[in-house]
């Protein structure tokens, strides 16, 4: 079968890495990178480190408003689909690249497989939720990462060719997690810089990432979040998404906040390591708070709702508003019921199941 895969943003490179490894044993894959993420630390590092086949084409759409970025991807993908005529289009997650891929393929009546289907956070004004809804409804095969995903799809009337295969991020975590403890020179550069130079000890820091527009578009909200991190009882390691670089400058944050260690975005293997050794993660990233849950690290999630609803059980993750007091209260006062943890996201064999079903 000729399969055309669309990726564009950081988490999709990791998901595609897990599936491509299995897919390419049986099928021909043509990999399209939309160029939604383009910084070295947001894109190239993943292809090098995760040994992902090089994209066959990069649309280089870059950053723009939602409509312009989505439109550029849509036009670019349509041209490629017309030229290559694949048997199917494979899409991941909930980014603008995902939704544009879905619309382009659906208009040309090319079947779509959506990996990470049925995830719902409950807020239609979040771009990710919009992208999820459109993609799930246009897809031919919907691969949900957990049973809740199957249930959400059923509520919206999608029941045909829906499969709970588990989460391909668990496949990736298991595969690359083994590398994360290897100190062979290629995988510990960021770790060395933070742990040795900044004298931060494993298991004695918080890990934070903040990049969602709802927390970064308003500088006052963003400042309040940083002030909470500044007041915490242990240092906070904060890999900075490029979207927030200018805000940090405007707030003179690097000079001002001594408890926060601002670093460049991390590669995936280092990110796994930093997550494993954190006291808690404090984040608005969907991927990170789920990865923390899978590794039994608690989290404070600065979002109104999460698509990863299972992780809220037993307070492994708790939602917080972007207010200093609420964040501090959630970090310090949350009682976690450790017995409640369950492997909701499968056994690390999601990619095999997906490829078997599609085959």
* Nearest distance, CB of residue 94 and ligand UD1, angstroms: 6
Q: In what order do the strands lie in the sheet with 2-7?
A: 57-58, 28-33, 2-7, 88-92, 112-115, 141-144, 162-164
User: Considering beta carbons, is residue 30 or 38 the nearer one to ligand UD1?
Assistant: 38
DSSP percent split of the chain into helix, strand, coil, nearest 5: 50, 15, 40
Q: Is 55 in the site for ligand UD1 (CB under 6 A)?
A: no
User: Scanning residues 115 to 174, which ones bind ligand UD1 (CB under 6 A)?
Assistant: 127-128
Q: Which residues are marked as active site?
A: 211
Binding footprint of ligand UD1, residue count (CB under 6 A): 18
CB atoms near residue 117 (< 10 Å): 28
Strand ranges inside the chain, DSSP E: 2-7, 28-33, 57-58, 88-92, 112-115, 141-144, 162-164, 206-209, 236-239, 260-263, 281-283, 299-301, 317-319
Q: How far is the CB of 185 from ligand UD1 (least distance, A)?
A: 26
Which of 3, 5, 7, 11: binder of ligand UD1 (CB under 6 A)?
A: 11
**Minimal distance in Å, beta carbon 5 to ligand UD1?**
16
Using CB under 6 A as the binding rule, whether residue 303 contacts ligand UD1 is answered as: no
Contacts of 36 (CB under 8 A, 6+ apart): 8, 9, 61, 62, 63, 69, 73, 95, 96, 97
**In the stretch 232-271, what mask flags binding to ligand UD1 with x, by CB under 6 A?**
----------xx----------------------------
Closer Cβ to ligand UD1, 77 or 358, answer by number:
77
Touching ligand UD1, residues 64-123 (CB under 6 A): 94-96
Cβ nearer to ligand UD1, comparing 235 with 322:
322
3 state DSSP class of 186: coil
Cβ-based nearer residue to ligand UD1, 103 or 195: 103
Nearer to ligand UD1, 159 or 246 (CB): 246
Q: State in angstroms the smallest separation of the CB of 351 from ligand UD1.
A: 21
Q: Which two tokens stand for residue 139?
A: 């897809």
Which residues, 15 to 44, sit near ligand UD1 by CB under 6 A?
A: 36-39, 42
What is the distance between the alpha carbons of residues 322 and 251, in angstroms, rounded to a whole number?
17
Two tokens at 317?
Answer: 């993750």
Q: Which is nearer to ligand UD1, 287 or 314 (CB)?
A: 287
| Segment contacting ligand UD1 by CB under 6 A, of 9-17, 179-187, 199-207, 249-257 | 9-17
Burial bucket for residue 31 (CB in 10 Å: 0-12, 13-18, 19+): buried
Binding of residue 305 to ligand UD1 (CB under 6 A): no
The string of DSSP letters for 3-65 reads: EEEEE-SHHHHHHHHHHHHHHTTTSEEEEEE--SS-STTTTHHHHHHTTPPPPSEE----S--
Tell me: does residue 10 bind ligand UD1 (CB under 6 A): yes
Using CB under 6 A, which of 9, 14, 173, 253 touches ligand UD1?
9
Contact positions toward ligand UD1, by CB under 6 A? 9-11, 36-39, 42, 63, 94-96, 127-128, 211, 242-243, 285
């Amino acid at each position: 079968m000729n399969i055309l895969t669309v990726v564009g943003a950081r988490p999709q490179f990791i998901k595609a890495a897990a599936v491509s490894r299995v897919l390419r044993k049986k099928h021909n894959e043509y990999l399209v990178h939309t160029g939604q993420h383009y910084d070295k630390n947001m894109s190239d590092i993943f292809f090098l480190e995760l040994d992902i086949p090089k994209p066959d084409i990069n649309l280089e759409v870059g950053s723009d408003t939602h409509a312009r970025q989505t439109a550029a991807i849509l036009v670019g993908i349509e041209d490629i689909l017309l030229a290559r005529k694949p048997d199917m289009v494979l899409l991941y997650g909930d980014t603008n690249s995902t939704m544009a891929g879905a619309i382009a393929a659906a208009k040309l009546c090319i079947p779509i497989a959506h990996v990470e289907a049925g995830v719902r956070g409950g807020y239609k004004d979040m771009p990710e939720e919009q992208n999820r809804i459109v993609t799930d409804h246009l897809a031919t095969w919907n691969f949900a990462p957990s049973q809740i995903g199957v249930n959400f799809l059923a509520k919206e009337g999608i029941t045909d060719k829906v499969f709970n295969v588990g989460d391909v991020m668990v496949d990736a975590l298991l595969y690359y997690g083994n590398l994360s403890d290897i100190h062979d020179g290629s995988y510990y550069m960021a770790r060395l810089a933070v742990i040795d130079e900044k004298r931060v000890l494993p298991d004695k820091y918080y890990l934070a990432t903040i990049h969602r527009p709802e927390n970064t578009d308003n500088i006052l909200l963003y400042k309040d979040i940083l002030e909470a991190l500044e007041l915490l009882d242990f240092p906070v390691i904060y890999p900075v998404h490029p979207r927030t670089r200018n805000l940090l400058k405007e707030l003179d944050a690097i000079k001002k906040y001594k408890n926060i260690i601002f670093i460049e975005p991390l590669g995936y293997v280092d990110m796994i390591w930093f997550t494993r050794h954190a006291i808690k993660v404090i984040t608005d990233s969907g991927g990170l708070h789920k990865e923390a849950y899978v590794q039994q690290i608690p989290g404070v999630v600065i979002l109104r709702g999460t698509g990863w609803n299972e992780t809220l059980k037993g307070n492994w993750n708790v939602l917080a508003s972007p207010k200093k007091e609420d964040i501090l209260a959630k970090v310090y006062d949350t009682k976690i019921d450790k017995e409640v943890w369950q492997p909701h996201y499968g056994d690390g064999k999601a990619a095999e199941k997906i490829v078997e079903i599609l085959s």
